[in-house]
Structure 1
Amino acid sequence: MFNLVTLDNNVQILTEKMPHVRSVSLGFFIDTGSRYEVPEINGVSHFIEHMLFKGTKQRTAKDIAEELDAVGGQLNAFTTKEFTCYYARVLDEHFDLALDLLSDMFFNSKFEAQDIDRERNVIIEEIKMYEDTPDELVHDIFASSIWSGHALGQPIIGTADVISNLSREKLIDYYNTHYTPGKLIIAAAGNIDHDIVTNKIRSVFEKSEGAGQARIMTVPEPKRDVVCRSKETEQVHLCVGTPGLCLDHEKIYVMQVLNTILGGGLSSRLFQEIREQRGLVYSVYSYHSSYHDTGLFCIYAGLSKQNVDQALSLIFKQVKDIRQSGVKDEELQRAKEQLKGGLLLSLENVNTRMSRLGKSQLYLGKVVSPEDIVQKVNRVTVTQIQELARDMMSPESFTLATIGPWENCGSFESMLDDLRNR
């Protein structure tokens, strides 16, 4: 059972009591990410995330690092395409410390010039590390291919050229615009009392002002592309997929079941066909990412270049089979139980509970209960899965992105012809 309170300045506070645990997770969700950045400042949200750990008017960077460590707690943050989250997990008796630390970072970070320059170098090294991790980088190349020219296609981390030229003034201007009460959701889960927690948060935030800019979005127009980046790696890393569904789409749970059957686990069709039966890969899986107004469906595989054509052919074979013949009843039931079990097991973790509250409120304006999700998953039918596969996974929708020593991109087009004609 969760509770929601909205302060007069539009700060939203959500809590969920878990009396059987001794911990509490507290998260600040700011309604900004790389999607809301113009190309000239791409990466600024992630840069600001780093800067909030570099010191406040009351604490040095070392103080921030040490205070929760000293009580066995955890402090972290992450930036996504559409929001940024700062969170802490502590024993329930240290909730006040977590709130004080996160709110101090939110309100009082100094953005000193020498810290910005030092962190600029850190982020550039992070970008270089990312460029040397092809199994992660290929997903960004895939997104930038489908959403070419749109902010959703930008890398969250930015580029070295942009980060090198981001000034203190631009950082502070973006921070002042987006880090305001009107763009903040605070979520807490664990061994807490709603009224006590709400009153403590209220005392910190109720006097702050600033509605923040309204969320301005343009729906991306997906583009079909084939991008093969040559790189001297041992494996070819590939992503192949289509545009997907937004988070509040009426068929989102059909999509989750479809994804689970196709590539969502060890029993999935792709894992069993490509790895277990043929030994062509070590890693193969599919996933679906949802945003405010769109989504992305992707199949990933990492494999030797001589196996790429065969693996792609097997991927399209499974897609074609689902589009033409649907899925079996036993597959459907197994996928449903896998999804429900994964959901309910994850809810034993306070961080997961906290994250669910914040993200649901941010994207849906409400929190969907686990019981409602289970009911929606249970209602998914074989017919719905086949219809969605036919609509979403047509040959004309697929984009391919690869990194590695494979440049035979032309074979992809012939495979799509085979998919049409099979």
Structure 2
Amino acid sequence: MVYEKKYGNGLRLVVKQMEGLLSVTMGILVGTGSSWETDSEDGISHFIEHMQFKGTKKRTSFEISDAFDRIGAQVNAFTGKDMTCYYSKCTSDHTAEAFEILSDLFLNSTFPDEEMVREKGVVCEEISMNEDTPDDLCLDVLSSAFYGKKNYGRNILGPADNVKCFTREDIFRYKAARYCPENIVISFAGGVDIATAEALVESYFGVLEKGVFEMREKSIDFAHLSLLRKKPIEQVHLAIGYPTIHRDHPLAYALQTMNSVLGGSMSSRLFQEVREKLGLAYSVYSYISAFSECGSLIVYAGVNPSSADKAYDAIGKVIAELMEKGISEEEFLRGREQMKASMLFSQESTPSQMLLYGKYMLFNDRLFDFEGKLDAINRMTKEDANETIALTFDDSRKAVGAVGNLDKPFAL
């Protein structure tokens, strides 16, 4: 059973009951992330996510961690381009305790000065770690090549110079603008009673006053660049991005099916050609990155510098053949079954369901219709999947990002 409630202050609650489970995952989702930041705010969504765990009016940073550990609960958070999420997983009998602690760190953080200083160092180390993780860095370079330096082109971590300068006043100002009840969804999934979830939310969040939330304008300007971050490392990490349809487009599932055929599995064309046949890469795959306004299909490969051009050309040939001939009925059916299996598998995971129903409510303001989506996938045809090929692949609109020991960027 799935339950929703919308409160007078704009807050939304969604509960996905999963019968027979002895655990529950609860999440507080905020519709903000790096894509909503200004230049001076660049990195603040992620920094706030860290600072929320650094002490409240009644708990120190250690006491927050200790309180979760004492009930055997897991707690974490993450920041994305368009969303920040704070979540905990616990046994069902500790639902009330876990939600109280999660609510406390979310609503009552005090951002002590001494913790601000320490956490700036932690985040700067995270930025340095990202610089030393070339596959992640490659995708950040691609984001800049694809979107430029604004909105979805921003690195979630932000620049170290910004992080070092953030103040408590900056945090309170940003939270007042973005952490409004109208921009928050609370999601429960698992062995949880609806009445319990509703009572907990009303107890801790019902007193929140409706804010003056204003949706910020976001202009999407594709950059179509090829960028290289030269580093003396063993591999070249290569990513190619193509603009495609947005997250809620009628052909979104058809796009996922087409991507599965291209590079989403071990039987995919990219894996079979670039790795199995040519032996040019250990890791090669493609995936969809989709947002409310736009989307992209991204191809990634890690290759030897001496064969980087050959791998780049091989990827291009696989895509060219896909554009010329489309996918076969056999490939379509295989890709569709993979998508259906993935959806069904996720039904057994409380974190996946918390996020699925929470995100859908956050971005669409209505319940996710699982049966309806599954029916739509079953009605999808090979022609739908092939239609997305023309909507995606256009070399005049692609972007390329690379990290490695090369002398120049890849040619567009």
Quote the offset at 1:303 in angstroms: 0.8
User: Distance between the aligned counterparts of 2:388 and 2:349, measured in 1?
Assistant: 32
- Residues 272-421 of structure 1: pairs in structure 2 closer than 5 A: 272-409=272-409, 412-413=411-412
User: Distance between the aligned counterparts of 1:191 and 1:229, measured in 2?
Assistant: 47
User: Distance between the aligned counterparts of 1:192 and 1:3, measured in 2?
Assistant: 11
3-state SS of paired residue (2:344): helix
Quote the offset at 1:69 in angstroms: 1.4
User: Distance between the aligned counterparts of 1:75 and 1:259, measured in 2?
Assistant: 33
Count of residue pairs the alignment pairs up? 412
Match of 2:73 in 1: 73
Q: Does 1:49 align with 2:49?
A: yes
3-state SS of paired residue (1:41): coil
User: Distance between the aligned counterparts of 1:321 and 1:377, measured in 2?
Assistant: 25
- Residues 56-205 of structure 1: pairs in structure 2 closer than 5 A: 56-205=56-205
User: Distance between the aligned counterparts of 2:239 and 2:364, measured in 1?
Assistant: 29
Cα displacement string for residues 295-333 of structure 1 (whole angstroms, at most 9, x for unaligned residues) = 121100001012212211121112111211111111001
Quote the offset at 1:196 in angstroms: 2.4
TM-score when normalising by structure 2: 0.97
User: Distance between the aligned counterparts of 1:231 and 1:67, measured in 2?
Assistant: 43
Quote the offset at 1:343 in angstroms: 1.3
User: Distance between the aligned counterparts of 2:365 and 2:247, measured in 1?
Assistant: 12
3-state SS of paired residue (2:281): coil
Quote the offset at 1:219 in angstroms: 3.4
3-state SS of paired residue (1:40): coil
User: Distance between the aligned counterparts of 2:293 and 2:398, measured in 1?
Assistant: 19
User: Distance between the aligned counterparts of 2:379 and 2:320, measured in 1?
Assistant: 24
Distance 1:201 1:391, change over 3 A: closer
CA RMSD of aligned residues (A): 1.3
Cα displacement string for residues 338-378 of structure 1 (whole angstroms, at most 9, x for unaligned residues) = 11111111210111111111111112222333322222222
User: Distance between the aligned counterparts of 1:319 and 1:386, measured in 2?
Assistant: 13
Question: Runs of 4+ in structure 1 displaced over 3 angstroms?
Answer: none
Quote the offset at 1:183 in angstroms: 1.6
Structure 1 residue runs without a partner (length 5+): 414-422
Cα displacement string for residues 373-406 of structure 1 (whole angstroms, at most 9, x for unaligned residues) = 2222223322222232123201212111100012
Q: Is contact 1:263-1:269 (8 Å) kept? A: yes
Aligned-residue identity in percent = 34
User: Distance between the aligned counterparts of 1:176 and 1:360, measured in 2?
Assistant: 23
User: Distance between the aligned counterparts of 1:164 and 1:377, measured in 2?
Assistant: 47
Q: Is contact 1:226-1:400 (8 Å) kept? A: yes
User: Distance between the aligned counterparts of 1:295 and 1:228, measured in 2?
Assistant: 22
Q: Is contact 2:31-2:362 (8 Å) kept? A: yes
The residue type equivalent to 1:344 in the other structure is L
Quote the offset at 1:408 in angstroms: 4.3
3-state SS of paired residue (1:282): strand
User: Distance between the aligned counterparts of 2:322 and 2:373, measured in 1?
Assistant: 24
Q: Is contact 1:226-1:399 (8 Å) kept? A: yes
Cα displacement string for residues 197-220 of structure 1 (whole angstroms, at most 9, x for unaligned residues) = 112211221121132422223230
3-state SS of paired residue (1:169): helix
Structure 2 residue runs without a partner (length 5+): none
Q: Which segment is superposed worse, 127-136 or 359-368? A: 359-368
Match of 1:258 in 2: 258
Match of 2:28 in 1: 28
User: Distance between the aligned counterparts of 1:186 and 1:3, measured in 2?
Assistant: 12
User: Distance between the aligned counterparts of 1:109 and 1:157, measured in 2?
Assistant: 21
TM-score when normalising by structure 1: 0.95
3-state SS of paired residue (1:10): coil
User: Distance between the aligned counterparts of 2:323 and 2:384, measured in 1?
Assistant: 11
The residue type equivalent to 1:347 in the other structure is Q
Q: Which segment is superposed worse, 259-268 or 314-323? A: 314-323
